[in-house]
Amino acid sequence: MKPTDFANHLTEFLSVYLPSQKNVSKNTIYSYRDTFKLLLKYCRDIQTIPVERITVSLLTSDLITGFLQWLETERGCCISTRNQRLAAIHSFFHYLQGEEPSGLYHFQKVMSIPIKKASKTTVAHLTPDAIKLLLEQPDKHTLRGRRDLTLLSVLYDTGARVQELIDIRVEDVILDSPSVVILHGKGNKNPSFKSFHNHAGFAQVLAEAFDQVGRYPDQAGGYTGKHWSTGFSNYFGGGAFGR
């Protein structure tokens, strides 16, 4: 079966255009990929269009609008998630304008689908007593408990995003006084350096965790051992910690 124009363009968009020409982060590419996985599912299951028969001409503004509505009503996505998916689709159709100029009118109709306005919610916060109670929950006598305590401590002390937290590598942590962690920001932003208020307590917990899993500082200043570059390991299997 001959590949469709949609298959060709989507492959080129995800594997060449985004990483090579736009130089976007791998997480952005993963997010865009997930958007199109959902779009393919919608076309197959709701619109009864086989994936191998989806063409660019079938992806009308009406179909995309229906897809966005399906995300909200059937999958329970919030408005911000809906807007994130739409941004990925806008980017793809913006790319198509340069690849298939004959479809400009069709592409621009899709690109004109507006971002939906969402109400801003008040950011909730924990009291000092609540933070203290939360930090007392992990069992410090187990490796898993010390890992969880370290995770919570890093989040509390640095204000790191979830992705920044799980991207921390062992070599990003400096235990000298003052102790510092290097956070790799969203996208291709320069790394930021965050210091810890409770240096002694954090250093002790982290050093014990490294010792338990066999990650030891070597003479060159790096670390050796299983998954040495992963700051936080998954308890089940020992691989990289995920969201």
Flag whether 85 is in a domain.
yes
Residues 34 and 93 reside in one and the same domain: yes
Residues 104 and 143 in one domain: no
Tell me how far apart the alpha carbons of residues 119 and 108 are, in angstroms, rounded to a whole number: 27
% the chain with pLDDT above 70: 74
Proportion of the chain above pLDDT 90, given as a percent: 45
- pLDDT of 89 reads 98
Same domain, 153 and 82: no
Query: Is residue 24 located within the same domain as residue 106?
Result: yes
- Same domain? For 69 and 148 the reply is no
Name the β-bridge partners of 195.
180
CB proximity list for 239: less than 8 A, separation 6 or greater = 227, 230, 233
Give the number of domains in the chain: 2
Q: Report the interhelical angle of 104-111 vs 61-73 (nearest 10°).
A: 30
pLDDT in tens, 41-88: 999 999 999 999 999 999 999 999 999 999 999 999 999 999 999 999
For helices 104-111 and 79-99, the axis angle rounded to 10 degrees is 160
Do 29 and 85 lie in one domain? The reply is yes
Per-residue model confidence (pLDDT) at position 216? 43
On the question of pLDDT at 232 being above 70, the answer is no
Residue 188 falls in which region: left (phi positive, over 0), alpha (psi -120 to 50) or beta: alpha
What confidence tier does 239 reach under pLDDT thresholds 50, 70, 90?
low
Tokens of 237: 């299997």
Residue 215 has pLDDT above 60, yes or no: no
pLDDT at 104: 94
Q: Is the pLDDT of residue 113 over 70?
A: yes
Angle at 133 between CA 142 and CA 167, to 5 degrees: 60
Q: Which residues constitute the domain of residue 37?
A: 5-111
Q: What is the pLDDT of residue 164?
A: 81
Task: Give Cβ neighbours of residue 187 (< 8 Å, ≥ 6 apart).
Answer: 24, 25, 27, 28
Give tens-digit pLDDT for 124-179.
778 888 888 988 898 888 877 877 887 887 788 778 888 888 777 777 777 776 77
Instruction: Mark whether 137 and 107 lie in a shared domain.
Output: no
What DSSP element (H or E) covers 216? strand 216-217
Q: What CATH number has the domain bearing residue 44?
A: 1.10.150
State if pTM tops 0.85. Answer: no
Let me know if residue 104 belongs to a domain.
Answer: yes
Q: CATH no. for residue 201?
A: 1.10.443.10
